[in-house]
Amino acid sequence: GNGGYTCIPDIFLKQEFGDNYYNVQKYLEQFALSFSNHFESLYQDILFDELGIDVGLDKKGRLWIFEVNWRPGPPVIMNVELDVVRNTLQ
């Protein structure tokens, strides 16, 4: 609602971080795995099968969590690709 957009992660990371994109990608992947494990450990009887974790990186490389959603569904870009496949198969 405030000017955001959806794109392929590799394209975004290369555009924003240049040659350092791979390191940023690995940093985000490691964070996602460790955060998911920790988050799930906070709830005794719930197994989270899918989390949407909205994060940002500041200029110093610190990671900030904006929100966490359970079962957020596929990103908009995935829906568009799925529509193309469905239309092709029909």
56, 54, 49: which is closest to 70 by C-alpha?
49
pLDDT tens by residue, 11-30: 899 999 999 999 999 999 99
- Predicted pLDDT of residue 87: 65
Helix (H), strand (E), coil (C) string for the chain: CCCCCCCCHHHHHHHHHHHHHHHHHHHHHHHHHHHHHHHHHCCCCCCCCCEEEEEEECCCCCEEEEEEEECCCCCHHHHHHHHHHHHHHC
Which has the higher per-residue pLDDT, 74 or 61?
A: 61
Question: Domain boundaries in the chain?
Answer: 9-89
- Predicted pLDDT of residue 29: 95
